[in-house]
């Protein structure tokens, strides 16, 4: 799911409001972030996702997180969302996203869950919460998965601890609170995003 001009970092904007999403997302895009997720347990999430897609759908892969049902997949697609992220493995959710041609990134923790997701059509997975399991766990799971499956580390991964995850071959990361929490200004989000992108670039240079 890699974009050519953006590091594989998914910005998770949990709690973002419709009246601030365009400004917040603009700061992320300007900093070099190309993947933006609005969890569905945020205030009026579909309104925010619609605004996000309208403003930046041609510059970033935009969509929803905490997607729990096939109906929610349909709702996100109806407002222009192209990215479906889940905290769990639900084959019906994955299959519906694949059927609609959306990029789906389901959350897994075990090899069993990972293979259920792959069988349902997922091409990218997220280890969640990654910080609870650690790079060693992911390395062991990667050894048995198809080589073309991308794995993102999400939850407890950020600028300060990128290296061990990159060393075991993660395709990318998802970052929430390090980038955005309710109350952060667009300027603060932009500054945090630039620091994260710089850390990623420094760790992956060469």
* 123 among known catalytic residues: no
- From the list 37, 51, 82, 178, the catalytic residue is 37
The one-character DSSP state at 159 is G
- From the list 20, 51, 82, 126, the catalytic residue is 126
| Number of DSSP helices (H) and strands (E) in the chain, helices first | 9, 9
Q: What count of other Cβ atoms lies within 10 Å of the Cβ of residue 107?
A: 24
* 37 among known catalytic residues: yes
| Helix-strand-coil split of the chain, %, nearest 5 | 45, 15, 40
Q: What count of other Cβ atoms lies within 10 Å of the Cβ of residue 167?
A: 11
Tally the C-alpha atoms within 13 A of residue 99's C-alpha that lie toward its C-beta.
11
Sign of CA dihedral 21, 83, 169, 141: positive
| Contact yes or no for 124/151 (Cβ under 8 A) | yes
Cα 53 to Cα 50: distance, rounded to the nearest angstrom: 5
Only one residue has tokens 């605004």, namely: 51
Region of 2 on the Ramachandran plot (φ > 0 left; ψ -120 to 50 alpha; else beta):
beta
Active site residues: 37, 126
């Amino acid at each position: 799911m890699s974009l050519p001009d953006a590091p594989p970092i998914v910005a998770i904007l949990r709690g973002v409001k419709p009246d601030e999403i365009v400004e917040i997302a603009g700061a992320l895009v300007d900093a070099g972030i190309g993947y933006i997720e609005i969890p569905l347990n945020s205030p009026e999430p579909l309104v925010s996702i619609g605004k996000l897609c309208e403003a930046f759908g041609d510059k970033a892969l935009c969509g929803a997180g905490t997607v729990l049902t096939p109906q929610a997949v349909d709702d996100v697609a109806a407002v222009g969302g192209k990215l479906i992220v889940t905290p769990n493995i639900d084959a019906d959710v994955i299959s519906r996203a694949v059927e609609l041609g959306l990029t789906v990134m389901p959350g897994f923790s075990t090899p069993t869950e990972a293979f259920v997701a792959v069988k349902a059509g997922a091409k990218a997975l997220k280890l969640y919460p990654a910080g609870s399991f650690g790079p060693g766990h992911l390395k062991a799971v990667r050894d048995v998965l198809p080589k073309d499956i991308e794995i993102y580390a999400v939850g407890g991964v950020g600028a300060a601890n990128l290296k061990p995850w990159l060393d075991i071959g993660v395709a990318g990361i998802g970052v929430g609170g390090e980038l955005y929490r309710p109350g952060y200004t667009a300027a603060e989000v932009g500054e945090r995003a630039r620091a994260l992108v710089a850390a990623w670039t420094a760790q992956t240079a060469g």
